[in-house]
């Protein structure tokens, strides 16, 4: 059945061959109890390992059932060990983290036997060895003799033809040794038992045949056996450990080291935590932005202006792929200047499209209103915010404007809140005082209305305050060459005499934005509607406007006008000489209406044959949001890169920890190989372990994120305009994070798992 033909085994030690076996010839019967005797170092273990297919011979041949093993591949040896051989070692070599039953079942698990059958067979052999009552104990809860019985049961489980026992009683006392020998004798009835020992008494008492080994050679054989050679066809079985088995093995191992697993998982989860938090915040912040865009900025106006500057954020963005010899024009980066033709045709088109059904359209003529007030006998001029750079620039925040979002106030109660009064009011000419979000107001406005700046004012004291707006005829006098603003005394007189060129405006309405993102810093006095129209009408027929219309140059003395010099058309507008709007602001009623506005303008543009008449509408909000989104994405990317570094670091740590585990479980690797596990199975065991750790790390990371997220939201909610927190963990994130964690730890563990798989089983078994 087994034939050893001139087997030699040498070890190459520093280029020098050391011969452990020098040419052993011996054959075995199908069933007999053979003892191999010999001094320590005579080659007994080496021979046994070669017979068991655990070690490879250097020369010669091992013939199994008349088949040479010279052509055997790894998988053939694995199958041979699993199906034909049962190993029993001096140091039992049980897997400490598995209970007795699982230790015994292991070889069957490798050959893919069902769980039920495994258990039944394992109980059977455990009964045979007399351990029926100890099946749920761990190896370290058993005596040495009992452990060796478990090892024998494990060797028997696959019902192998050959049991190889390497000094099975070497670690046991005499009494226990005898029990083990009797057990082996019982088994040897229908099996080949080859037992290595250096105890001649035991050998003589129990073995039927004694082979003596000395210095790598057989020196005596009490019952030699010769077989006639014959050729028999190859019979090869396969072994394979299923992945669930590998998982179970690793899970049990991990569970015996709970604290270390926890620490490893924690190390592994830090990178996941980082990435997870960035993802959660990116998503949550994105939601806040979208919310802001949809709810708060919904009615932020589209701006159609005579002259405009458009900021492009993707000036270099191009979707063409050009070759070296090709050129194409691209949109320039940075601001683009342009102009729109806003004429009656365009205005008629807007009203023909019933824009008012979903948006408020506001026309701003560019009229420069000049307001005065007499407080305690002192004449106060239009309140303006002094600017350090250019005190009179028209773009600087004038706190008094000719534009009033009256329609908007009534249409968009979500954006604008009326505190007291109403826009129309009871006065002939009403004005609206627009406060800031927090009920403050530009301090230059208060004295103008005769109110103190250094104390808190009751809102009702503000309502009903009046001031005067002077039309051009009241404001200017002609000095023979230019129009100049009248001296203060004359203005006071005109006001006091209730000139028809002076209109009295009353604060009839006090409003404020519903949130801090509407009308940013635009608080002030707004004069619109009836009052605005009245001034426009007066100014349109004023002397200065008529003079300006027929003059090729400016007719106004700019110094006295308190404004920087304009072009002639701009001047005419400032004076109220142009009824056509300089700017049309379109305030959509809600977020959905924005698309409708865009469509209407597109419809107009498509119909234009003259490219100069195409309208460019500026959506300030989307530009801001485009920039904000870009900013959030960029910051997220940077943060993710940082988190990725910690992910790499934790992966390396997991690799190292897995490698430590490989070192610790070297013996287990040897045992698994001895019962027929393939290299692949060994790497599976460790891959399963890293997958489990990755899973734990991922789950731990996700749990921490789920714990932190409400905290982040609690802290951040008051800071966001929508009152929503900036952290948002989705199912997608959870799945992604756990997958990344598993994948990374798996990759990190691949090398250690390979190292484990490549371990020489003989060396592995020799390690302590």
Q: Which two tokens stand for residue 453?
A: 């700046």
Q: What torsion do the CA atoms of 565, 569, 572, 574 make, to the nearest 10 degrees?
A: -60
With CB under 6 A as the contact rule, the residue among 1, 33, 43, 571 that binds ligand ADP is: 43
CB of 11 to ligand ADP, least distance (A): 4
Q: Which residue has the tokens 């002094």?
A: 386
Instruction: Between 216 and 405, name the residue whose CB sits nearer to Mg ion.
Output: 216
Please name which of 593, 633, 598, 600 lies closest in space to residue 619, comparing C-alpha atoms.
598
Rank residues 10 and 243 by Cβ distance to ligand ADP and give the closer one: 10
The least distance separating ligand ADP from the CB of residue 38, rounded to whole angstroms, comes to 5
∠ CA 282-283-285, nearest 5°, is: 65
| Of the candidate residues 1, 4, 7, 20, the single one contacting ligand ADP (CB under 6 A) | 20
Q: Which of 41, 244, 391, 723 binds ligand ADP (CB under 6 A)?
A: 41
User: In whole angstroms, how far apart are CA 597 and each of 291, 471, 517, 619, 667?
Assistant: 20, 35, 21, 11, 76
Nearest approach, Cβ of residue 157 and Mg ion (Å): 24
Q: Does 44 bind ligand ADP (CB under 6 A)?
A: yes
Determine if 46 is a binding residue for ligand ADP (CB under 6 A). yes
49 or 650: whose CB is closer to Mg ion?
49
Q: Count other C-beta atoms under 10 Å from residue 764's C-beta.
A: 22
Question: Which stretches of 201-314 are assigned E, i.e. beta strand?
Answer: 209-214, 217-221, 302-305, 307-312
Q: Counting contacts by CB under 6 A, is residue 45 touching ligand ADP?
A: yes
Q: Considering CB distances under 5 to 8 angstroms, the limit depending on partner class, which of Mg ion, ligand ADP, none binds residue 163?
A: none
Query: Least distance in Å: CB of 115 to ligand ADP?
Result: 37
**Residues 6+ positions from 105 with CB-CB distance below 8 Å:** 118, 119, 121, 122, 157
Residue among 120, 128, 189 at smallest CA distance from 155: 128
Nearer to ligand ADP, 3 or 45 (CB): 45
Q: What angle do CA 117, 120, 126 make, to 5 degrees?
A: 135
Q: Which is nearer to Mg ion, 45 or 373 (CB)?
A: 45
* Pure H helices in 35-143: 44-51, 74-84, 100-110, 115-128
**Which residue number places its CB atom closest to Mg ion?**
45
CA distance 36 to 299: 96
In the complex with Mg ion, the residue whose CB is nearer, 11 or 478, is 11
CB of 99 to ligand ADP, least distance (A): 31
Among 655, 601, 587, 568, smallest CA distance to 267 is for 655
Shorter beta-carbon distance to Mg ion: residue 360 or 666: 666
- For the segment 177-236, give every residue that binds ligand ADP (CB under 6 A): none
Per the CB < 8 A criterion, the answer to whether 341 and 612 are in contact is yes
Binding residues for ligand ADP restricted to 21-40, rule: CB under 6 A: 38, 40
Q: Which of residues 744-763 bind ligand ADP (CB under 6 A)?
A: 763
Shortest separation between residue 44's beta carbon and Mg ion, angstroms: 5
Which residue number, 48 or 108, has a Cβ lying nearer to ligand ADP?
A: 48
β-strand partners of 353: none
Residue 553 binding result from ligand ADP, Mg ion, none, given CB thresholds of 5 to 8 Å by partner type: none
Counted residue by residue, the chain has a size of 768
**Does 11 interact with ligand ADP (rule: CB under 6 A)?**
yes
Question: Which own/partner contact pairs does 113-121 have at CB distance under 8 Å and 24+ positions apart?
Answer: 121/157
Q: How far is the CB of 21 from Mg ion (least distance, A)?
A: 12
Residues that bind Mg ion (CB under 5 A): 45
**In whole angstroms, how close is the CB of 215 to ligand ADP at the nearest point?**
9
Residue 760: CB atoms within 10 A of its CB come to: 14
The answer to whether 42 contacts ligand ADP (rule: CB under 6 A) is yes
- Per-residue binding string, ligand ADP, 681-720, x by CB under 6 A, is ----------------------------------------
Question: Helix (H, G, I), strand (E, B), or coil: what is residue 468?
Answer: strand
Closer residue to ligand ADP, CB minimum distance, 44 or 594:
44
CB atoms closer than 10 angstroms to residue 439: 12
Which residues make up the interface to ligand ADP (CB under 6 A)?
11, 13, 18, 20, 38, 40-46, 763
């Amino acid at each position: 059945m087994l034939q050893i033909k001139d087997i030699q085994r040498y070890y190459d030690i520093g280029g020098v061959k050391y011969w452990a076996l020098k040419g052993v010839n011996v054959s075995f019967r199908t069933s007999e109890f053979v003892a191999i005797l010999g001094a320590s170092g005579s080659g007994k273990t080496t021979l046994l390992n070669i017979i068991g297919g655990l070690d490879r011979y250097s020369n010669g041949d091992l013939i199994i059932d008349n088949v040479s093993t010279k052509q055997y591949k790894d998988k053939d040896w694995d199958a041979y060990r699993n199906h034909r051989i049962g190993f029993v070692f001096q140091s039992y070599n049980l897997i400490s983290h598995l209970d007795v039953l699982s230790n015994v079942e292991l070889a069957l698990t490798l050959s893919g036997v069902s769980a039920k059958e495994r258990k039944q067979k394992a109980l059977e052999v455990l009964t045979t060895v007399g351990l029926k009552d100890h099946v749920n104990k761990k190896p370290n809860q058993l005596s040495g003799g009992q452990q060796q019985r478990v090892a024998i049961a494990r060797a028997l489980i696959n019902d192998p033809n050959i049991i190889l026992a390497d000094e099975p009683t070497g670690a046991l006392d005499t009494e226990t040794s005898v029990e083990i020998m009797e057990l082996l004798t019982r088994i040897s009835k229908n099996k080949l038992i080859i037992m290595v020992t250096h105890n001649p008494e035991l050998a003589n008492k129990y073995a039927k045949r004694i082979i003596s080994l000395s210095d790598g050679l057989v020196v005596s054989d009490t019952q030699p056996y010769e077989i006639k050679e014959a050729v028999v066809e190859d019979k090869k079985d396969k072994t394979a450990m299923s992945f669930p088995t590998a998982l179970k093995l690793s899970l049990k191992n991990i569970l015996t080291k709970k604290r270390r697993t926890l620490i490893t998982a924690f190390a592994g989860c830090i990178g996941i935590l980082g990435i997870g938090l960035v993802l959660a915040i990116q998503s949550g912040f994105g939601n806040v932005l979208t919310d802001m865009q949809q709810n708060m900025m919904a009615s932020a106006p589209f701006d159609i202006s005579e002259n405009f500057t458009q900021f492009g954020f993707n000036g270099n963005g191009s979707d063409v792929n050009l070759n070296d010899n090709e050129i194409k024009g691209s949109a320039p980066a940075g601001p683009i200047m342009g102009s729109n033709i806003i004429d009656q045709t365009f205005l008629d088109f807007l009203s023909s499209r019933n824009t008012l059904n979903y948006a408020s359209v506001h026309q701003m003529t560019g009229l420069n209103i000049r307001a005065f007030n007499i407080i305690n006998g002192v004449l106060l001029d239009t309140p303006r915010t002094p600017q350090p750079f250019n005190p009179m620039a028209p773009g600087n925040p004038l706190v008094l404007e000719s534009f009033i979002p009256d329609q908007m106030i009534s249409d968009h109660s979500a954006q604008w809140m009326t505190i007291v009064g109403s826009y129309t009011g009871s006065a002939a000419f009403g004005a609206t005082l627009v406060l800031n979000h927090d009920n403050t107001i530009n301090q230059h406005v208060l004295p103008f209305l005769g109110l103190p700046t250094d104390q808190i004012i009751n809102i009702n004291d503000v309502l009903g305050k009046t001031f005067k707006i002077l039309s051009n005829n009241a404001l200017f006098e002609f000095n023979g060459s230019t129009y100049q603003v009248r001296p203060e005394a004359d203005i006071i007189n005109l006001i006091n005499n209730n000139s028809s060129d002076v209109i009295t405006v009353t604060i009839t309405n006090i409003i404020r934005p519903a949130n801090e993102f509407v009308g940013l810093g635009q608080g002030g006095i707004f004069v619109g509607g009836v009052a605005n129209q009245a001034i426009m009408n007066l100014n349109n027929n004023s002397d200065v406007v008529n003079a300006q219309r027929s003059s090729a140059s400016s007719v106004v003395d700019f110094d006295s006008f308190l404004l920087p010099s304009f072009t002639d058309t701009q001047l005419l507008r400032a004076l109220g000489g142009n009824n056509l709007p300089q700017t049309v602001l379109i305030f959509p009623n809600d977020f959905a209406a924005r698309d409708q506005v865009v469509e209407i303008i597109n419809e107009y543009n498509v119909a234009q044959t003259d490219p100069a008449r195409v309208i460019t509408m500026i959506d300030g909000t989307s530009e801001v949001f485009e920039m904000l989104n870009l900013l959030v994405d960029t910051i997220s990317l940077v943060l993710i890169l940082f988190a990725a570094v910690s992910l790499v670091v934790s992966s390396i740590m997991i690799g190292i920890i897995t490698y430590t585990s490989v070192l610790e479980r070297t013996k287990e690797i040897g045992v698994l190989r001895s019962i027929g596990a393939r290299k692949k199975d060994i790497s599976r065991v460790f891959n399963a372990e890293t997958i489990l750790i990755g899973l734990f790390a991922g789950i731990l990371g996700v749990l921490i994120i789920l714990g932190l997220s409400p905290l982040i939201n609690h802290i951040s909610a008051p800071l966001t305009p929508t009152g929503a927190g900036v952290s948002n963990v989705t199912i997608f994130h959870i799945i992604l994070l756990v997958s990344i964690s598993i994948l990374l730890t798996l990759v990190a563990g691949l090398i250690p798992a390979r190292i484990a798989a490549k371990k020489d089983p003989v060396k592995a078994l020799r390690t302590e």
